[in-house]
Structure 1
């Protein structure tokens, strides 16, 4: 068992009631003073337990609220939310959901990044499935708010499941005032501008999300962010996130060039260079990617 220091007894007991006994624990994500995620494996089922102490408690609590609202709305991309358990004790919020078996989009694209032959069809199918799952979420009136290739799981027999939903929003759950748009490297210029403005909340629109979707797929395929930091002589890791968002808002960076899978990255480039009003929907992007099926 991994060190469970800081895991509330109430949450531990709830996880082990669901997983069955004996249960084994594996720390998947550990952030000092922040969120932690465990995989709890037992004879009954595998579950994921997320805890958030102090300020992180509000983030975990908001994810719980988002999953409950999406469950009521019937959003297929978060169907696992039908069987979540949660609580708050001693200043710490916790959330338990089923452990989702299946690779992330990032993992599906690993053979592409490794230059392995005969890996394009599986990656392309995964990209189409992801776009359709995001498009379905949008159809239900929801925005994920933090799309990236590590937050999507390709499970068997159903739509791609989207995790990391703390910043998801819809009419029934307004955007959070503390959210700044997600990972800076995947932000559309207009969302980057909103994230550094004084007005709150900075609202991630569906158009912003399609930009993040294309940027995340570019990252997954190439291993590089789509913004051409090298041409601008910028080391993105040398700047605070707020400064980087300001540069993105100022359109300091062009979209990079790549020789990785031209048929695929050319479609993504079209999305990333289009004005916001001319971006396709997630469903339209799925169709555009589907049209290159079999083309390497």
Structure 2
């Protein structure tokens, strides 16, 4: 049986980082994450371990480290530990999109979202796409806003560059609440999918929608299993987009069922800039 977290920092990871302090941030779905302060800076340290549902999570920190080394100039540390792989990457200070928009969130009458913040989220994803990558796991908790910009985090499922075979694994979807219909359909039919920029656009639209309203993009019971959730995404239209202002109309375009009908992220950024 797979082990269960949370896990303390292994001794060899502590030796590599020499923490001044360490705070447990989260432990779920095969990942224990620590906020670690060192004399060289602040790091998000991830310990990946296998779960019964997701054995690939043991490899996710090392896969993300390989991706980040191709995207950012800061040093990324990674290696193996007894349950899987680990990584240390720069800590991104700020609030998630979901938390930031909580004060205005309402199912029926949401407040008009902050367009500058929406633009920051869109620019971060557009920049990733322009660099030749897809994220593959866009969700509101993976967009951190701080210091006047947005950061995309949790890139372990991203596609677009070289990843060592020892740390690679097939893409089997993301958090279902933000999956585009074509991704859910492929996983139901074949067990895997190919993440695309169009699916990223849909996922950001769904992220903006849930952050503004509190509603998932498609209705299904809270206790539905993932197969039934995906089937609902395939079979049902998304909820009516009741986000006020120009962003609501743009979210509607981003969440079109046909990927070819969705705007690119560059077009999304241009539309938001025009509305400012």
Shorter-chain TM-score tier: 0.7 to 0.9
Q: Are positions 1:37 and 2:33 aligned together?
A: yes
Over the aligned positions, Cα root-mean-square deviation in angstroms equals: 2.7
**Aligned equivalents of 1:277 and 1:266: distance in 2?**
17
Kindly indicate whether the alpha-carbon contact (under 8 Å) linking 1:105 and 1:154 is maintained by their aligned counterparts in 2: yes
Count of residues in Structure 1 that have an aligned counterpart in Structure 2: 262
SS of residue in 1 equivalent to 2:25: strand
Q: Are positions 1:128 and 2:130 aligned together?
A: no
| Counterpart position of 1:209 | 200
1:145 aligned to which of 136, 142, 162: 136
Kindly indicate whether the alpha-carbon contact (under 8 Å) linking 1:39 and 1:48 is maintained by their aligned counterparts in 2: yes
SS of residue in 2 equivalent to 1:14: helix
* TM-score under structure 2 length normalisation: 0.84
| Counterpart position of 2:226 | 241
* Structure 1 runs, 4 residues or longer, greater than 6 Å off: none
Kindly indicate whether the alpha-carbon contact (under 8 Å) linking 1:36 and 1:51 is maintained by their aligned counterparts in 2: yes
Kindly indicate whether the alpha-carbon contact (under 8 Å) linking 1:26 and 1:40 is maintained by their aligned counterparts in 2: yes
Q: Are positions 1:266 and 2:225 aligned together?
A: no
Q: CA deviation at 1:186?
A: 1.3
Kindly indicate whether the alpha-carbon contact (under 8 Å) linking 1:147 and 1:213 is maintained by their aligned counterparts in 2: yes
| Counterpart position of 2:215 | 224
| Counterpart position of 2:16 | 14
Residues 139-193 of structure 1: per-residue CA shift (max 9 Å, x gap): 1110011001111122326x52211111001153499654322111211111111
Q: Which has the higher strand share?
A: 2
**Aligned equivalents of 1:140 and 1:107: distance in 2?**
28
Alignment of 1:40-189 (within 5 A): 40-42=36-38, 44-54=40-50, 55=55, 56-68=57-69, 70-71=70-71, 79=72, 82-113=74-105, 123-156=114-147, 159-173=149-163, 177-189=169-181
Structure 1 residues 259 and 142: CA distance shift in structure 2, 3 A: closer
Kindly indicate whether the alpha-carbon contact (under 8 Å) linking 2:67 and 2:158 is maintained by their aligned counterparts in 1: yes
SS of residue in 2 equivalent to 1:95: strand
1:27 aligned to which of 19, 24, 28: 24
* TM-score under structure 1 length normalisation: 0.79
Structure 1 residues 84 and 276: CA distance shift in structure 2, 3 A: same
Q: Which runs of 5 or more residues in structure 2 are unaligned?
A: none
Kindly indicate whether the alpha-carbon contact (under 8 Å) linking 2:143 and 2:152 is maintained by their aligned counterparts in 1: yes
Kindly indicate whether the alpha-carbon contact (under 8 Å) linking 1:113 and 1:220 is maintained by their aligned counterparts in 2: yes
**Aligned equivalents of 1:199 and 1:242: distance in 2?**
11
Residues 218-270 of structure 1: per-residue CA shift (max 9 Å, x gap): 1111111122x2xxxx41x2221122112322xx3222235442432222113
Q: Are positions 1:292 and 2:269 aligned together?
A: no
